[in-house]
Structure 1
């Protein structure tokens, strides 16, 4: 657990990969350039978000496949692939293929639940099976079985000149140990641990019954997240846990950049501490300031003190030069302030 005398062991960043709808290639290229820069800066990992039917990465596995050919060391992750949009068997094939291409670097993160804007997309996504699709945890369990090499077919053998396998090919034995689950509640964290999954935490958690305004002790975001992590570790002591808060160091930022970052954070502060929506989601405050200031705030964060890995999320909607500054300052100033050392 990171404290001033116990350093952060692994550091990554998470990018959304935005692009222009009428010219999508430059945005995808800058995402790949950012990942390659991350490797040069010594990051341990680079993660990509997904954005279906939006102007962000719709096919993170394809983007990571491209990234494997532009990098040689950095781990490549997804945070997270919503399995409601995926066929677990086909996804297992894609993930295993990228794992082979990269020499064992993917860290796929997944989540459950109905696809976003389900009523609008169901006719296009599952025109014949929408009523019977299972969007719960069994979809993750099915993916894990295929990744681990359990049978996907009742047949194996040779028919004519074609040879068939009863499990997903290629099979990549180490991939299952690098699968992650994006959990926002204690029960889902415990379930992930029981499945042998690693745990991705973010800047969103599910508020306990009664919400943050109930007056109950220990219902702040950081305390809730810390309890979830401890519950996960009780279920899976050997599992990895990564925290993904939004951090924006300003060490080398221009005055205009600092003002833009501060305005962005202020615009999101209203949701902090107030359960949002039917699920009662709580959001962490974005951390903007010098690396020394952010490090001090992280040392006092109960959730951060429970992890030794971080994949800091880049904020939405900024120009590419802002992301270059943020990623460079995280690696060059914030990471070392947390005791992390770049990889060579």
Structure 2
């Protein structure tokens, strides 16, 4: 593992104890989280994208603002559900945000996970065609988006265009290098292998769509290896990147102990472990929460095969506790990264 970043859903609610109570506070606090991450020395600020929920949904204005307020850290999405997206408009927005950030975007895209709306993409104007599938629809949108951000010609020139007859107009603005920083959020081994074949980097979540009874780290490590093998066999240039997500709660002072001690007690009683469950009509392996002091976290994470073989660890953060508390845990995560690298 070489990098560690946070992954925030950007939830807001007026629940007791929440420090992020409105949509406005969620936006401003997410920018503060990015500043806190850079100040604490971790490597990335990544945001989750959901629709029809009280959490982050429109990533590019927020990523541009995060980019304008930071200078070093990677800024990513984990992930954008492409079934909601116009790939050409998204290419313009993504390039704009990447240029503002100085070429630091790392964009995770996918078919998406279950959403609360019965058919959200249709409400956005993108109903599935007869006989089509969500996976195929998302794959086409991803392919079109990748063409556009690569600077390829898209639209035939009209009579007013300042190009030669017969040339295709590319999407503008163009951000060089962005096309090399696209990740696919893969749920299983086959989708991970497909990401490698297509030359996209791999994001793997706190769950894998496979249930063998083995720990998540073991199952997920096979997914990462299948991805790397497919990348090599496809002959892609460069080094493929992989990330895994984990729920990690460092206890480093009285405040973090107050918030996270109930999870530590559950852990001591044996109630905190990987689980077998169902998502998207598929039996899956769900990861546990890592909680405790840095010595305990280091020992347990060293035993997680996927964490130790991935180059990036994304830690889901309790954003409703606010940027100030998370600044403390970010400092702990930076130290944990350095320990695991030894």
Counterpart-to-counterpart distance in 2, 1:46 and 1:268: 32
Could you list the per-position Cα deviations for residues 157-194 of structure 1 after superposition, in whole angstroms to 9, with x for gaps in the alignment? Answer: 7349xxx9611111122001111111111111111111
Question: Is 1:202 matched with 2:205?
Answer: yes
Match of 1:131 in 2: 129
Paired residues of 1:19 and 1:28 also in contact (CA < 8 A): no
Q: What is the SS of the residue equivalent to 2:51?
A: coil
Superposition TM-score, scaled by structure 1 size:
0.84
Counterpart-to-counterpart distance in 1, 2:45 and 2:270: 25
Paired residues of 1:199 and 1:240 also in contact (CA < 8 A): yes
Deviation at 1:317, TM superposition (A): 5.1
Q: What is the SS of the residue equivalent to 1:54?
A: coil
Match of 2:332 in 1: 329
Q: Given the superposition, is the C-alpha separation of residues 169 and 274 from structure 1 closer, same or farther in structure 2, using an over 3 Å criterion?
A: same
Match of 2:222 in 1: 227
Match of 2:96 in 1: 97
Q: Given the superposition, is the C-alpha separation of residues 141 and 269 from structure 1 closer, same or farther in structure 2, using an over 3 Å criterion?
A: farther
Counterpart-to-counterpart distance in 2, 1:268 and 1:97: 48
Q: Given the superposition, is the C-alpha separation of residues 179 and 120 from structure 1 closer, same or farther in structure 2, using an over 3 Å criterion?
A: closer
Question: Is 1:158 matched with 2:157?
Answer: no
Counterpart-to-counterpart distance in 2, 1:315 and 1:19: 11
Matched pairs, number: 322
Deviation at 1:265, TM superposition (A): 7.1
Larger mean CA deviation between 87-96 and 147-156 belongs to 147-156
Q: In angstroms, what is the RMSD of aligned CA positions?
A: 2.9
Match of 2:85 in 1: 86
Paired residues of 2:7 and 2:78 also in contact (CA < 8 A): yes
Counterpart-to-counterpart distance in 2, 1:196 and 1:141: 11
In the TM superposition, what are the counterparts of 1:103-252 in structure 2 within 5 Å?
A: 103-113=102-112, 116-121=115-120, 124-126=123-125, 129-131=127-129, 135-136=134-135, 137-155=139-157, 158-159=160-161, 166-207=169-210, 211-213=211-213, 219-237=214-232, 238-252=239-253
Match of 1:13 in 2: 6
Match of 2:48 in 1: 49
Q: Given the superposition, is the C-alpha separation of residues 113 and 31 from structure 1 closer, same or farther in structure 2, using an over 3 Å criterion?
A: closer
Deviation at 1:304, TM superposition (A): 1.6
Match of 1:290 in 2: 293
Deviation at 1:297, TM superposition (A): 0.9
Counterpart-to-counterpart distance in 1, 2:113 and 2:305: 31
Aligned match for 2:282, one of 279, 284, 293: 279
Counterpart-to-counterpart distance in 2, 1:34 and 1:317: 11
Paired residues of 2:215 and 2:274 also in contact (CA < 8 A): no
Paired residues of 1:249 and 1:334 also in contact (CA < 8 A): no
Q: Given the superposition, is the C-alpha separation of residues 264 and 63 from structure 1 closer, same or farther in structure 2, using an over 3 Å criterion?
A: farther
Counterpart-to-counterpart distance in 2, 1:241 and 1:157: 46
Deviation at 1:119, TM superposition (A): 2.2
Larger mean CA deviation between 33-42 and 139-148 belongs to 139-148
Counterpart-to-counterpart distance in 2, 1:268 and 1:165: 61
Could you list the per-position Cα deviations for residues 229-254 of structure 1 after superposition, in whole angstroms to 9, with x for gaps in the alignment? Answer: 00111112421111211111112243
Superposition TM-score, scaled by structure 2 size:
0.84
Could you list the per-position Cα deviations for residues 178-229 of structure 1 after superposition, in whole angstroms to 9, with x for gaps in the alignment? Answer: 111111111111111111111111211011xxx335xxxxx43211101110
Unaligned runs of 5+ in 1: 1-7, 214-218
In the TM superposition, what are the counterparts of 1:293-332 in structure 2 within 5 Å?
A: 293-315=296-318, 318-331=321-334
Paired residues of 2:206 and 2:287 also in contact (CA < 8 A): yes
